[in-house]
Amino acid sequence: MPAVCILDDFEVHKNEEFLKIAEELKPELITTQVKPVRLLYKENPGEGFSDKKNVKEEEPSLLSGKVLKKDDRVVLDFGDHQVGYVTLDLASTGSHQDAPLYLYLRFAERIEELDSDPAEYNGWISKSWLQQEHIHVDVLPARLELPRRYAFRYMEINVIDVSMKFSLVINDVTLKAVSAVSQDDVEPLAMDDPLLQRIDRVATRTLQNCMQDVFEDGPKRDRRLWLGDLRLQARANYQTFKNYDMAKRCLYLFAGMTFNEGKLAACLFLDPEPEPDDTYLFDYALLFGSALLDYYEETKDEKTLKDLYPVAMRQIEIGLDYLTEDNIVPDHSDEFWCFVDWGDGLNSQAASLAILIYSIRYGIRLAKYMGDTDRIDLLQKKEEELKKSAVEHFWDEEQQMFVSGEERQISWATQIWMILARVFPKEKNRELILRTIEVNPRIRMVTPYMYHHYIDALIRSDEKERALNEMKRYWGEMVHDGADTFWEVYNPYNKYESPYGSVMINSYCHAWSCTPTYFLRKFYEEKK
Q: For 488, which DSSP code?
A: S
Beta-bridge partners for 76: 39, 155
Minimum distance of ligand RAM from residue 359's CB (angstroms): 17
Q: Where do the H-state alpha helices sit in 264-301?
A: 282-286, 288-299
Question: Residue 55 or residue 83: which is nearer to ligand RAM going by CB?
Answer: 83
Question: Residue 232 or residue 353: which is nearer to ligand RAM going by CB?
Answer: 232
Q: Which amino acid is at 180?
A: A
Q: Which stretch binds ligand RAM (CB under 6 A): 35-43, 104-112, 220-228, 473-481?
A: 220-228
Q: Which stretch binds ligand RAM (CB under 6 A): 62-70, 207-215, 225-233, 437-445?
A: 225-233
Question: Residue 49 or residue 339: which is nearer to ligand RAM going by CB?
Answer: 339
Task: Using CB under 6 A, pick the residue from 229, 278, 307, 331 that binds ligand RAM.
Answer: 229
Question: Residue 226 or residue 254: which is nearer to ligand RAM going by CB?
Answer: 226
- The verdict on 217 binding ligand RAM (CB under 6 A) reads yes
Q: Which stretch binds ligand RAM (CB under 6 A): 198-206, 226-234, 299-307, 402-410?
A: 226-234
Minimum distance of ligand RAM from residue 370's CB (angstroms): 28
- The verdict on 283 binding ligand RAM (CB under 6 A) reads no
Q: Contact letters (x/-) for ligand RAM, 232-261, by CB under 6 A?
A: ------------------------------
Task: Using CB under 6 A, pick the residue from 113, 200, 222, 463 that binds ligand RAM.
Answer: 222
Give, in order, the Cα–Cα distances in Å from 507 to each of 69, 113, 178, 283: 32, 11, 18, 22
Give, in order, the Cα–Cα distances in Å from 455 to each of 159, 191, 470, 523: 47, 19, 7, 11
Minimum distance of ligand RAM from residue 459's CB (angstroms): 23
Minimum distance of ligand RAM from residue 135's CB (angstroms): 29
Minimum distance of ligand RAM from residue 177's CB (angstroms): 22
Minimum distance of ligand RAM from residue 226's CB (angstroms): 4
Q: Contact letters (x/-) for ligand RAM, 301-340, by CB under 6 A?
A: --------------------------------------x-
DSSP string for residues in 413-458? HHHHHHHHTT-S-HHHHHHHHHHHHHH--SB---SHHHHHHHHHHH
Backbone angles phi, psi at 443, to 5 degrees: -85, 95
Give, in order, the Cα–Cα distances in Å from 152 to each of 135, 146, 344: 19, 14, 28
- The verdict on 488 binding ligand RAM (CB under 6 A) reads yes
Residues 6 or more apart in contact with residue 526 via CB below 8 angstroms: 190, 191
Give, in order, the Cα–Cα distances in Å from 439 to each of 397, 411, 474, 513: 15, 10, 18, 25
Q: Which amino acid is at 152?
A: F
Minimum distance of ligand RAM from residue 211's CB (angstroms): 15
* Count of residues engaged in binding ligand RAM, rule: CB under 6 A: 8
Minimum distance of ligand RAM from residue 283's CB (angstroms): 9
Strand ranges (E), 162-270: 166-179, 225-226, 257-259, 263-264, 267-269
Q: Contact letters (x/-) for ligand RAM, 141-160, by CB under 6 A?
A: --------------------
Query: What's the distance, CA 395 to chain centroid?
Result: 32
> Which residues, numbered 339-358, are part of the site for ligand RAM (CB under 6 A)?
339
Q: Contact letters (x/-) for ligand RAM, 435-474, by CB under 6 A?
A: ----------------------------------------
Minimum distance of ligand RAM from residue 512's CB (angstroms): 6
Minimum distance of ligand RAM from residue 452's CB (angstroms): 12
Strand ranges (E), 162-248: 166-179, 225-226
Task: Using CB under 6 A, pick the residue from 18, 41, 49, 226 that binds ligand RAM.
Answer: 226
Backbone angles phi, psi at 87, to 5 degrees: -125, 135
Evaluated on CA atoms 273, 243, 475, 229, the torsion sign reads negative
Question: Residue 229 or residue 331: which is nearer to ligand RAM going by CB?
Answer: 229
Q: Which contiguous run of DSSP H or E holds residue 361?
A: helix 349-370
Residues 6 or more apart in contact with residue 427 via CB below 8 angstroms: none
Minimum distance of ligand RAM from residue 137's CB (angstroms): 35
Residues 6 or more apart in contact with residue 227 via CB below 8 angstroms: 254, 264, 265, 266, 267, 281, 284, 285, 287, 288, 291
Q: Which amino acid is at 287?
A: L
Q: Which stretch binds ligand RAM (CB under 6 A): 51-59, 175-183, 202-210, 221-229?
A: 221-229
Minimum distance of ligand RAM from residue 473's CB (angstroms): 23
Q: Which stretch binds ligand RAM (CB under 6 A): 140-148, 224-232, 296-304, 466-474?
A: 224-232
Q: Which amino acid is at 491?
A: N
Q: For 401, which DSSP code?
A: E
Q: List interacting residues with ligand RAM (CB under 6 A).
A: 217, 222, 226, 228-229, 339, 488, 512
